[in-house]
Amino acid sequence: MSRDVVVRRSERGWQVGDEQAADLTSAMVLADLLAADLGSPAPPPRSARRAEEDEAARLAVTVAQLEHALAARVRVEQAIGVLAERHRLRPRQAFDLLRSVARSGGRRVIEMAEDVVDSASNPLLRLPGELARKPPPAARQRRRMTG
């Protein structure tokens, strides 16, 4: 029996199945873990040794997923800091800008974040197009009121 895990934006963060997550990276990790749990049928009876090996392999995959999610989150937080400093935005406004530019360009937020961080550490690299331009004052003001 395989069920899809749905990730939805909610008023308090992200809804993943019946679970609540504060940020998208956590929601994605939770969705991956839930999908893995829900998608695999009950294993047939096996020897204790084989079951322990399988559990160790599942735990190794979980650790790798969590390490990847943590690294991605760190990179996104760094990009938020760069954008907040360069454009004098609040962190939430900087994240919204990063996310909207990534979406409009058909890119993942982490890919855009890596470009932003790279531009901060290498003077030969510029911020990606839309992020290089300061958001118009009206958009910044609107973001201040909603952020």
Q: Which helix (H) or strand (E) holds 68?
A: helix 48-87
The pLDDT, as a whole number, for residue 132 is 81
Residue 86 corresponds to which tokens in the numbers above?
A: 């360069």
How far is residue 137's CA from residue 147's CA, in Å, rounded to a whole number?
A: 15
Reported as a single tens digit per residue, the pLDDT across 92-109 is: 999 999 998 988 889 888
Q: Is 107 helix (H, G, I), strand (E, B) or coil?
A: coil
The pLDDT, as a whole number, for residue 2 is 44
Q: Please provide the average confidence, as pLDDT, over all residues in the chain.
A: 76
Determine phi and psi for 40, rounding to 5 degrees: -100, 130
User: pLDDT tier at 116 (50, 70, 90 boundaries)?
Assistant: very high
pTM for the predicted model, two decimal places: 0.54
Residue listed under structure tokens 């992020």: 131
Q: Is 116 helix (H, G, I), strand (E, B) or coil?
A: helix
Question: Any bridge partners for residue 21, and if so which?
Answer: 14
- Nearest by Cα to 114 from 94, 128, 130: 128
Q: Which residues have C-beta within 8 Å of that of residue 28, sequence separation ≥ 6? A: 7, 69
User: pLDDT tier at 33 (50, 70, 90 boundaries)?
Assistant: low
Q: Any long-range contacts for 120-126 (C-beta under 8 Å, 24+ apart)?
A: 120/78, 120/82
3-state secondary structure 6-56: CEEEECCEEEECCEEECCHHHHHHHHHHHHHHHHCCCCCCCCHHHHHHHHH
